[in-house]
Amino acid sequence: MTHSIVLVCPWYGPDSAGGAEAQARQLARSVRAIGGQLQVWTSTGRDAFHPTATRHYPEGQGEWEGVPIRRFVPVPAGRLGPPPDRLADPALRTLPAFPHDELRLLGSLLGSDDLCATIVAERERHSFVFLPYAFATSFWGALLAGPRAWLIPCLHDEPYARYSTYRHLFRSVRGALANSQPEQDLIVSLYGLAPAQVPVVGEGIDLTPRGDGERFRRRHGLEGDLLLYLGRRDASKNIAMLLSYLREYWARRGRAPTLLLAGPGQLELPAGLAPIVRDLGFLSPDEKHDAYAAADIFCQPSLLESFSIVLMEAWLQGRPALVNGDCAVTSYHCRVSGGGLAPRGFAEFAASLDLLLAKPQLRERLGERGRRYVLTSCDWDRVARRFLAVLESTREAAVLVAEG
């Protein structure tokens, strides 16, 4: 690798929570580990869960876990349009007239004028990779980086993915690196790109943890059949649907497994669910893997996924999965791995739960299939090598074109 890669993301650091943030950290470490010249440009903010902590990290250049980091102070939210001192830049002269509400969304998300100015000053020296797609750091930064810009979009099938701003973004960059085959399909469908412009690079997880399920059950006094949901506890993850399904299952069957809920975010549980739901709050990394191992079934009800780290972590511990059949990404993973079931609606959910609870040997087979899938497809070393191969091949092609 003979050129430098700049990974641009809104937040980055040991205290920065979120799926895209975890992906950025792992990718940066893995690329550096195999000799890639990669640095991170990010803000001084903490993460999306702490929007007022805009100077959580020190401004300027530094390093963490062997990765060079350059931090910029974010601008206050609310501005409509590009950074004022960039309006004359050739990359922004031909912008379409975007709707006001679309610009308002961009203005509400984290951006940085100093970051944009530095991209312009150094855009001939680097390849730029922006993630996730929706933020002002990605939108204005990628447009200013021009043909040297790539996206790792972490795209979900959400309403604003159809905005003209983001269509313009995806059609302006060199390409988008997809985390999964369904994400590639969605990008191609929404923005009219050729599949070759959206290579599936994938995502990885740490493959070393081995949880101790019995230890976790003893520590928390848990017995009987256990379901586990682990992740953000908010509306975007469809927790309300899972709770309503479990309540209906309990009412119809007269019994129900215990649902364990773990992860960041506030959660208000209906009092009537107390006998069958345990809120464990935020778990340490070791406890998290113990919780996966303790569960009989891992539940992932979310619709909005581009990869689903928690699904892969549960499979690594040999747990079978119940996912939302209306989520293209998690359904795809279950189908190709054979590691879980993807019911649609309550009736299929109840039937799937009946089946898995009644057949422990089936749970074991599904969990082992999921584990094999993760071990072969989620190795960060392989992901990093695919990432570098894509960027290097396009750089070499660009050189050949420039040389005539």
> What is the side-by-side strand order in the sheet with 258-262?
277-281, 258-262, 226-230, 297-300, 321-323, 340-341
Shared-domain flag, residues 218 and 82: no
Handedness of CA 330, 335, 338, 342 (dihedral sign): positive
Shared-domain flag, residues 168 and 82: yes
pLDDT, position 82:
77
Q: Is the pTM of this model over 0.85?
A: yes
pLDDT, position 403:
40
Shared-domain flag, residues 172 and 88: yes
Other C-beta atoms lying within 10 Å of the C-beta of residue 360: 11
Shared-domain flag, residues 117 and 258: no
pLDDT, position 230:
96
Write the CATH number for 255.
3.40.50.2000
Q: What is the DSSP letter of 296?
A: S
Shared-domain flag, residues 249 and 160: no
pLDDT, position 76:
84
pLDDT, position 77:
80
Shared-domain flag, residues 155 and 294: no
Domain count, the chain: 2
Owner of token pair 């682990």: 230
Handedness of CA 249, 255, 257, 260 (dihedral sign): positive
pLDDT, position 206:
95
Owner of token pair 């006001």: 100
pLDDT, position 343:
98
> In 3D, which of 52, 28, 39, 42 has the Cα closest to residue 72?
42
Shared-domain flag, residues 191 and 228: no
Shared-domain flag, residues 67 and 191: yes
Low-confidence ranges of the chain (pLDDT < 50): 1-2, 397-404
Shared-domain flag, residues 265 and 289: yes
Residue-number span of the structural domain to which 398 is assigned: 4-204+380-402
Shared-domain flag, residues 160 and 301: no
Shared-domain flag, residues 384 and 370: no
Shared-domain flag, residues 220 and 351: yes
Q: What is the DSSP letter of 92?
A: G
Q: What is the dihedral of CA 29, 31, 34, 35, to 10 degrees?
A: -100
Inter-residue contact 381 to 168 (CB < 8 Å): no
243 membership: H or E segment, kind and range: helix 239-253
42 by DSSP, 3-state: which? strand
Write the CB contacts of 306 (distance below 8 Å, at least 6 apart in sequence). Answer: 153, 154, 155, 156, 178, 179, 180, 183, 329
